[in-house]
């Protein structure tokens, strides 16, 4: 059973605003900045403003900025990587608006790496047929983008009172969506943990709620995601009745630094850009095993490379494969990849003199809260952008370096949508129902109750063992059964409300939804690899799995893909 709400104390304070943005990665920061001309904006973030996934992004941001590149070529590469499940209209919006969106980011102060002639230095990554990846600080692109956006936000915070300012609350875990009598989003409940902020559980009343909460990588034992990536936005949306789609497509980055058997938590990413500069994947005998598996070899789309690594590990019995960049030389490592070089050396590996041990690890959720082209979800007044959203851009497998661009472009689009959506005469911000977040008796019919904080490790173990890179019917059934066993039975002691229990419950909700979708899709496509159904099946599975809350459980429905004429003619390249 999945709870319809998080058990929590009643709100002890309230704040009124026009737009509340949840999250402070690229999507949340851009959304806040683009919404502020149209009303009061409150930005809520779970930790510090710069603690989200964006700051960890090494690879860069993809856009057709070069004279010999074009949005149509970027479109083709994105559709190919998505293995038939991209929404072409969404991808067209991404690639057409992307170049100017990046230029606006530069105008805001983001400093990208430059060539000697002054132009933006562009590199190539997996799945791209052109050099179209812009970097900053070599391999610190996300950190530089965050710096520029936070500087702009600081200026906005210092603006005069009124519609020009952005208020910020840090160290706040958002709990549940508030809705008015018509079912429209009317704000959120949240728990603030930071010193100097309103303490405990409170309520934000707003005319629009923007989810930009990032990913869900902490549902697995090993991930590139930070500790705060516990799927809070997806879980909140499910409890609110929103449609969530494509959750089975969790991308495992092929090259994450192997820290040894049993390593857990956030692990260092070895950017695709290293392979773009010429590093090779080899096995322990020195053979380049990706050659012959795909025309792009090590630069194939991520799902192909991850599967290639896993297959070679199984064939040889090895615990990891090796990324060999010794031939790049010390100067390239120091100039292009200083962050990666430092991380590897911190863990006792020197890429200049030895190959890097690598394995795939959970990296990115291609699915999420379903939106239209302007971030609107199926719940009126609730919007989503960035990794928490499913715009349809990524399909079954995200193309490298499209994530930052998606967060940028679709956050700007939410700003455009709210310009008109908030222009309608407000019905007034409704009062928060007295029992909006009050403790309630658990109703078995609606599936209530918190998951014990101690179950977090169990959830990660279950998901890694049975719903990771390799999946099958037996393992997924085991995962479903073991996840269900973590739900307290009637009469059992209930966990006390608190951050640890709320996060464990969110992880459990998201894990249950991922397993349900993965079990239903009986084919292999993109980042969803079913060993018992090893082939892609367009006859039965050219469509999306949509998950919704139904009573105390999750309902998974299949929706065939709606293709445009152009897509029908092209029949995406394989």
Give the catalytic positions in this structure. 302
DSSP state of 125: -
Neighbouring residues of 414: CB distance < 8 A, sequence distance ≥ 6: 31, 34, 35, 210, 374, 375, 383, 385
Name the burial class of residue 17, with classes exposed (0-12), middle (13-18) and buried (19+) by CB atoms within 10 angstroms of its CB. Answer: buried
- Measure the CA–CA gap between 509 and 501, rounded to whole angstroms: 12
Residue 12 has a CB neighbour count (10 Å cut-off) of: 12
- Measure the CA–CA gap between 436 and 354, rounded to whole angstroms: 57
Of 30, 112, 29, 22, which is closest to residue 63 (Cα–Cα)?
112
Helix (H) or strand (E) holding 547: strand 543-550
Neighbouring residues of 120: CB distance < 8 A, sequence distance ≥ 6: 65, 112, 113, 114, 134
> How far are the Cα atoms of 77, 395, 568, 569, 571 from residue 565, in angstroms, in the given order?
18, 18, 5, 6, 10
Q: Give Dmax (Cα) for the chain.
A: 71
H helix intervals, 349-469: 402-421, 456-466
Of 355, 344, 340, which is closest to residue 56 (Cα–Cα)?
340
CB 366 within 8 A of CB 395: yes
Using CA atoms in the order 209, 214, 219, 220, what is the torsion angle rounded to 10 degrees? Answer: 170
Look-up: residue for tokens 């403003």? 49
First-to-final CA distance of the chain: 40
DSSP state of 53: G
- Measure the CA–CA gap between 430 and 437, rounded to whole angstroms: 15
Beta-strand runs (E) in 140-258: 166-169, 172-179, 185-192, 200-205, 208-211, 222-223, 244-245, 250-257
């Amino acid at each position: 059973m999945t709870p319809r709400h998080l058990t929590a104390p009643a709100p002890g304070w309230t704040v009124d605003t026009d737009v509340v943005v949840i999250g402070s990665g690229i999507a949340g920061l851009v959304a806040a900045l683009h919404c502020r001309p149209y009303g009061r904006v409150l930005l809520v973030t779970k930790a510090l403003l710069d603690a989200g996934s964006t700051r960890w992004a090494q690879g860069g941001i993809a856009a057709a900025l070069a004279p010999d590149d074009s949005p149509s070529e970027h479109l083709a590469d994105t559709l190919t990587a998505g293995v038939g499940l991209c929404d072409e209209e969404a991808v067209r919006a991404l690639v057409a608006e992307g170049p100017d969106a990046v230029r606006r980011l530069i105008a805001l102060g983001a400093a990208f790496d430059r060539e000697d002639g002054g132009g933006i230095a562009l590199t190539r990554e997996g799945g791209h047929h052109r050099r179209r990846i812009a970097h900053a600080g070599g391999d610190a692109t996300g950190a530089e983008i965050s710096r520029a956006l936070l500087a702009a936000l600081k200026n906005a915070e210092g603006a005069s009172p009124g519609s020009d300012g952005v208020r910020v609350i840090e160290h706040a875990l958002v709990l549940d969506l508030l809705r008015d009598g018509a079912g429209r989003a009317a704000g959120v409940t949240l728990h603030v943990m930071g010193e100097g902020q309103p303490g405990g559980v409170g309520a934000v009343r707003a005319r629009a709620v923007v989810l930009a909460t990032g990913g869900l990588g902490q549902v697995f034992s090993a991930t590139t995601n930070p500790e705060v990536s516990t799927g809070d936005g997806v879980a909140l949306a499910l409890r609110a009745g929103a449609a969530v789609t494509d959750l089975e497509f969790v991308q495992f980055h092929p090259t994450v630094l192997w820290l040894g058997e049993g390593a857990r938590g956030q692990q260092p990413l070895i950017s695709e850009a290293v392979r773009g500069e010429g590093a090779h994947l080899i096995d322990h005998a020195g053979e380049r095993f990706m050659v012959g598996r795909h025309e792009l070899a090590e630069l194939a789309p991520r799902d192909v490379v991850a599967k290639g690594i896993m297959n070679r590990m199984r064939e040889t019995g090895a615990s990891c494969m090796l990324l060999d960049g010794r031939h790049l030389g010390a100067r390239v490592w120091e100039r292009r990849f200083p962050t990666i070089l430092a991380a590897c050396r911190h863990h006792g590996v020197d890429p200049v003199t030895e190959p890097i041990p690598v394995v795939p690890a959970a990296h990115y959720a291609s699915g999420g809260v379903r939106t239209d082209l302007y971030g609107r979800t199926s719940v009126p007044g609730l919007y989503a952008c960035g990794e928490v959203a499913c715009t349809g851009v990524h399909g079954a497998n995200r193309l490298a370096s499209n994530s930052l661009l998606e967060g940028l472009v679709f956050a700007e689009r939410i700003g455009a949508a709210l310009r008109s959506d908030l222009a309608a005469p407000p019905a007034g911000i409704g009062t928060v129902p007295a029992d909006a977040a009050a403790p309630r008796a658990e109703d078995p019919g609606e599936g209530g109750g918190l998951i014990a904080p101690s179950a977090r490790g169990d959830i990660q173990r279950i998901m890694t063992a049975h719903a990771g890179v390799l999946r099958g019917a037996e393992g997924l059934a085991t995962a479903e059964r073991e996840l269900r066993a973590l739900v307290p039975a009637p009469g059992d002691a209930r966990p006390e409300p608190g951050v640890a229990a709320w996060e464990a419950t969110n992880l459990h909700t998201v894990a249950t939804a991922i397993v349900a979708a993965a079990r239903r899709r009986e084919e292999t496509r993109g980042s969803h690899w079913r060993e018992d159904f090893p082939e892609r099946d367009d006859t039965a599975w050219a469509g999306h799995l949509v998950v919704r809350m139904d009573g105390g459980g999750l309902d998974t429905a299949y929706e065939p893909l709606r293709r445009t004429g152009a897509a029908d003619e092209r029949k995406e390249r394989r």
